[in-house]
């Protein structure tokens, strides 16, 4: 292990190169004895306290080097709050807990062990309890929940729940809203609040929930569906897709109007090809749904059954039992069709909209889309009514303002009203 003493400055640490493969290079601050910076072969730079006391060496990790890190006000009150939290620290911020740690070590105390005992369960351990003790058995979208946690909250998994501050959660929500979208930001904070609330219910957490009282983003209700001028381009783009799995998946989604997860997890055991029925035993609103399949859908499914790669799932995945959120394929189709701002879920809304435009009643649309609340169906009907109104206005405008064809006899003879003798 190479040891180097340097003056820790922002420019000096920023230009340090990654270490040799499989090794870590250590640097020591000339201004704060015991403050160490370790650089991995991946280029990760982390602050630690490295100190020999009574013939034993102690190394306590403080956090990763981040020259632009911002700390909450609690850091000034208790600089040891960063221990086991894996925060980002600037050089000046790292020096403060380093001095506090060395004072504790000199007194014979292990501040890291004391911190863990005091702070209790980490967010990562709590989420595992939440996932396996609740979500898998009670949430149909538990895989989506798991993905959300490890994508947006993974950097806090080693932190004790009690160390997470409300101000940090708000900063995270603001950051996600700018970088990943407002819906993602809201969904992430809702997940964090649910996990910690469940921990409090199970008496694994005894602190306040830092995800409560957070200002979330206001979201507009999505009304998008495939418009009449877009539909031919979309269908052409779908049929031009070379990946048969993606092509069939999108077509079945468009034909059936079923929810995305229901189509992704579609099972052969639930499909009756002879009678043209697909029964979804566990739909979103906790009721079974029966979809009556039409000719084009049956043709796709019969072809897939004849060439099936799985005896369980209609759309098997490569690395998972079933197909999982085909974002790349959907982007290819939209690019080919030259359509923007269209989500896969909008295909479901599209079927309902066109059913409404062709005269289907609210009850028929609600049954087809498995709506539990009729108000949801009314929203679909309202969107379609606007589109139908637009078409009607265009037809009227054509009749009102376009010039008649001179080659045709468009003159309408008007009869003069007969005179009547009116007596007073």
Domain ranges of the chain: 3-119, 123-201, 231-385
The CATH class of the 3-119 domain is alpha beta
CB atoms within 10 A of CB 245: 18
Most confident of 11-20, 48-57, 104-113, 414-423: 11-20
Confidence of residue 79 (pLDDT cuts 50, 70, 90): confident
Higher pLDDT, residue 159 or 228: 159
Higher pLDDT, residue 162 or 283: 162
Predicted local distance difference test score (pLDDT) of residue 80? 79
Higher pLDDT, residue 388 or 19: 19
- pLDDT tens for residues 291-333? 888 888 899 999 999 999 888 999 998 878 888 888 899 999 9
Instruction: Using alpha carbons, list the distances in angstroms from residue 2 to 27, 39, 221.
Output: 8, 11, 58
- pLDDT tens for residues 110-149? 777 666 666 678 899 899 889 888 888 788 778 889 999 9
Predicted local distance difference test score (pLDDT) of residue 35? 93
Q: Where are the alpha helices (DSSP H) in 269-373?
A: 295-306, 327-337, 346-357, 362-369
pLDDT exceeds cutoff 80 at 9: yes
Confidence of residue 414 (pLDDT cuts 50, 70, 90): very low
Higher pLDDT, residue 410 or 5: 5
pLDDT exceeds cutoff 60 at 413: no
Distance CA 12, CA 67 (A): 11
Looking at residues 102-106, what average pLDDT do you find?
Answer: 85
Give the 3-state secondary structure of residue 160: strand
- Of 78-87, 261-270, 273-282, 302-311, the least confident: 78-87
How much is the pTM? 0.49
CATH of domain 231-385: 1.10.443.10
Percentage of the chain lying above the pLDDT 90 cut: 36
H/E element, 207: none
- The tokens of 143 are what? 């895989």
398-418 b/e (C-beta count within 10 Å ≥ 16 → b): eeeeeeeeeeeeeeeeeeeee
Confidence of residue 357 (pLDDT cuts 50, 70, 90): low
pLDDT exceeds cutoff 50 at 85: yes
- pLDDT tens for residues 15-60? 999 888 878 899 999 999 889 999 988 888 999 898 887 777 778 8
Distance CA 343, CA 331 (A): 10
Confidence of residue 369 (pLDDT cuts 50, 70, 90): low
Predicted local distance difference test score (pLDDT) of residue 145? 92
Predicted local distance difference test score (pLDDT) of residue 423? 42
Predicted local distance difference test score (pLDDT) of residue 422? 39
Predicted local distance difference test score (pLDDT) of residue 86? 65
- Of 25-34, 222-231, 351-360, the least confident: 351-360
Give the 3-state secondary structure of residue 266: coil
Give the 3-state secondary structure of residue 3: strand
Percentage of the chain lying above the pLDDT 70 cut: 78
């Amino acid at each position: 292990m190479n040891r180097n003493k340097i003056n820790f400055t922002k420019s000096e640490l920023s230009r340090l190169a990654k270490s040799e493969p499989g090794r870590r290079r250590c640097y020591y601050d000339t201004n704060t004895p015991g403050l160490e910076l370790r650089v991995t072969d991946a280029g990760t730079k982390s602050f630690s306290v490295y100190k020999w006391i009574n013939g034993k060496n102690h190394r306590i990790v403080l956090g990763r080097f981040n020259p632009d890190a911002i700390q909450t006000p609690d850091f000034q009150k208790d600089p040891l709050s960063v221990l086991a939290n894996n925060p980002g620290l600037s050089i000046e911020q790292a020096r403060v807990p380093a001095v506090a740690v060395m004072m504790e070590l000199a007194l014979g105390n292990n501040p890291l062990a004391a911190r863990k005992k005091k702070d209790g369960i980490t967010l990562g351990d709590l989420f595992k309890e939440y996932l396996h003790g609740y979500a898998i058995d009670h949430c149909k979208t538990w895989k989506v929940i798991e993905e959300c946690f490890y994508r947006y909250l993974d950097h806090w998994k080693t932190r004790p729940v009690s160390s997470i501050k409300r101000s940090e959660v708000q900063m995270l929500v603001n950051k996600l809203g700018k970088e990943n979208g407002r819906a993602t930001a809201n969904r992430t904070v809702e997940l964090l609040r649910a996990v910690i609330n469940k921990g409090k219910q199970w008496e694994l957490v005894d602190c306040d929930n830092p995800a409560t009282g957070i200002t979330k983003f206001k979201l507009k209700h999505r009304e998008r569906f495939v418009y009449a001028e877009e539909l031919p381009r979309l269908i052409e783009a779908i049929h031009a897709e070379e990946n048969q799995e993606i092509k069939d998946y999108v077509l079945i989604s468009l034909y059936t109007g079923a929810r995305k997860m229901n189509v992704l997890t579609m099972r052969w055991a639930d499909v009756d090809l002879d009678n043209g029925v697909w029964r979804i035993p566990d739909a979103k609103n906790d009721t079974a749904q029966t979809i009556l399949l039409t000719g084009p859908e049956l043709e796709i499914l019969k072809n897939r059954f004849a060439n099936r790669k799985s005896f369980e799932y209609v759309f098997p995945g490569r690395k998972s039992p079933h197909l999982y959120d085909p974002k790349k394929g959907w982007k290819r189709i939209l690019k080919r069709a030259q359509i923007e701002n269209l989500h896969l879920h909008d295909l479901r809304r599209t079927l309902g909209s066109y059913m409404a435009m062709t005269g289907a009643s609210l009850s028929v649309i609600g049954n087809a889309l498995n709506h539990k609340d009729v108000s949801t169906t009314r929203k679909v009907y309202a969107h379609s009514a606007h589109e139908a109104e637009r078409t009607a206005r265009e037809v009227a405008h054509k009749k009102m303002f376009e010039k008649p064809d001179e080659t045709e006899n468009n003159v309408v003879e008007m009869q003069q009203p007969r005179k009547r003798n009116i007596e007073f």
